[in-house]
Amino acid sequence: TVGDNDYRPDFHFTPQKNWMNDPNGMVYYAGEYHLFYQYNPNESVWGPMHWGHAISKDLVNWEELPIALYPDNLGNIFSGSIVVDTNNTSGFKTGSESPLVAVFTHQNPANNKQTQSLAYSNDKGRTWTKYANNPVLVNNNKADFRDPKVSWHKGTQKWVMTLAAGDEIMFYTSTNLKNWEYKNSFGKNVGAHGGVWECPDLFKIKDINGQETWALLVSINPGGPNGGSGTQYFLGDFDGETFTSSQVETLWLDYGTDNYAGVTWSNEPNGRNLFIGWMSNWSYAQNVPTYSYRSAMTFPRTLHWQKSNGKSIIVSKLATELIYATGATVIEKTDVPSDLELLDDATLGGGKFYLETTLDFSTINKANIKWGNKSSSVLIEYDKANGELTLNRAESGFKFNNLNGNIIKCPYVLPASNQLKISMLVDKSSMEIFLNDGERVLTALVFPLAPFNNLEITANQKTKFIKKIKLSKLSK
């Protein structure tokens, strides 16, 4: 039988022990990518929240550090963000390093009251001091008032806080991170409202030519595109106080069930919008069949915007650091004569792969990619007539309760070329699928009864349809 070690991914961050949810306070500083996260050090289910801490130099290998923030007399430490206060606007600087300032939600467990607070580090994030005058932002009218994401707005020379409040986003500004002034709200009559809005992120985003617009990410639970948790986004304008968008449709960052509460890194050295999400769903996160630890993060991704079928969308790609995880090539072919079947293939052992394949739908209507073994399988199907990709995990080993009968759907109409490029990262218990270089993304957990050692790519017609395939193992 399979256990935690068979499911624990090798190329995604997991805590050594116990419970993790949202990524928090991601910041790059002095050669290190910091990842903090909602953490319960006592059990592998949600509980009194701390900020766990890990660092990486290459986004593939992570080192877990001691817990950064513990609950205190103001409550538990909910989600939030970190900025590098280069100009010492906060006055927290004591030594030669720039202060890292964490802005997070304090949640009072007695009455669930939520306020925003600060903590700072003058030693590259190794030790943290809570600000003596916490909280810095209180709102007596709102029950849900949390997950501050702070960034520096050049135009107004102010800090901007993007905050989730019920099913709206509130914007505050500050010159010193301590005093916050309410400016505006966003979200009435736009986007999905089937649940509570959480973990927003606001940032400038570039297209491939460097042209900028603004993006607002908003996680929502429940009410995601395939049930439970999901992350929607808005493209528009931000003038330092007000976010405006002419968008009418609800857009989802990821159609899979397992990418939630994701936000981007602050101070990213290459100017990338570098994103990471919690790879689970509140509908079942606390029941998945790992016991000593629970939850992994997605692989880091970079976000751009582009026009696709006349509409502006965000495209996501795996961070190029994936090369540090890419190992031996299992198969590399072009113009495969017909179906491709690798069955009980010894070279496929281990359940960790990166697959890139381009399928030509000029003469076929449906194609399937099936990962499996003797006892369980995951079926991914693209149906051209329906304009939809589905991932079926009914036979994948673990029954994911109450979500769409285990079928995850992702609408996608092929471009005029009739080509579908599928890039897919499989790391034991997760699948991250990117269509045509990130125009659609589907992230899904799977808990197979044994590691995958079969891969089949088939179509509904016997014909040449696999233009290209490259399958690599993952190794580091």
Residues making contact with ligand FRU (CB under 6 A)? 21-22, 38, 49, 78-79, 105, 146-147, 198-199, 261
258 given a catalytic annotation: no
First-residue to last-residue Cα distance in the chain: 26
State which residue, 231 or 358, has the beta carbon closest to ligand FRU.
Answer: 231
User: Least distance in Å: CB of 38 to ligand FRU?
Assistant: 4
Q: Mapped to the 3 state alphabet, what secondary structure does the chain carry?
A: CCCHHHHCCCCCCCCCCEEEEEEEEEEEECCEEEEEEEEECCCCCCCCCEEEEEEECCCCCCEEEEEEECCECCEEEEEEEEEECCCCCCCCCCCCCCCEEEEEEEECCCCCCEEEEEEEECCCCCCCEECCCCCCECCCCCCCEEEEEEEEECCCCEEEEEEEECCEEEEEEECCCCCCEEEEEECCCCCCCCCEEEEEEEEEEECCCCCEEEEEEEEEECCCCCCCCEEEEEEEEECCCCEECCCCCCEECCCCCCCEEEEECECCCCCCCEEEEECCCCCCHHHCCCCCEECCECCCEEEEEEEECCEEEEEEEECHHHHHHEEEEEEEEEEECCCEEECCCHHHCCCEEEEEEEEECCCCCEEEEEEECCCCEEEEEEECCCCEEEEECCCCCCCCCCCHHHEEEEECCCCCCCEEEEEEEEECCEEEEEECCCCEEEEEECCCCCCCCEEEEEECCCCCCEEEEEEEEECC
Angle CA 436–440–445, to nearest 5: 115
Evaluate whether 264 touches 205 at the Cβ level (below 8 Å).
no
State which residue, 147 or 427, has the beta carbon closest to ligand FRU.
Answer: 147
Q: Which of 4, 10, 22, 344 is catalytic?
A: 22
State which residue, 147 or 360, has the beta carbon closest to ligand FRU.
Answer: 147
User: Least distance in Å: CB of 149 to ligand FRU?
Assistant: 11
State which residue, 105 or 121, has the beta carbon closest to ligand FRU.
Answer: 105
User: Least distance in Å: CB of 476 to ligand FRU?
Assistant: 29
User: Least distance in Å: CB of 199 to ligand FRU?
Assistant: 6
User: Least distance in Å: CB of 215 to ligand FRU?
Assistant: 19
State which residue, 48 or 451, has the beta carbon closest to ligand FRU.
Answer: 48
* Contacts of residue 370, Cβ cutoff 8 Å, sequence gap at least 6: 377, 378, 379, 380, 454, 455, 456, 457, 458
User: Least distance in Å: CB of 99 to ligand FRU?
Assistant: 23
User: Least distance in Å: CB of 120 to ligand FRU?
Assistant: 20
State which residue, 216 or 466, has the beta carbon closest to ligand FRU.
Answer: 216
State which residue, 79 or 89, has the beta carbon closest to ligand FRU.
Answer: 79
User: Least distance in Å: CB of 100 to ligand FRU?
Assistant: 19
Question: Per the structure block, which two tokens stand in for 63?
Answer: 């080192």
State which residue, 144 or 356, has the beta carbon closest to ligand FRU.
Answer: 144
Residues acting as catalytic residues = 22
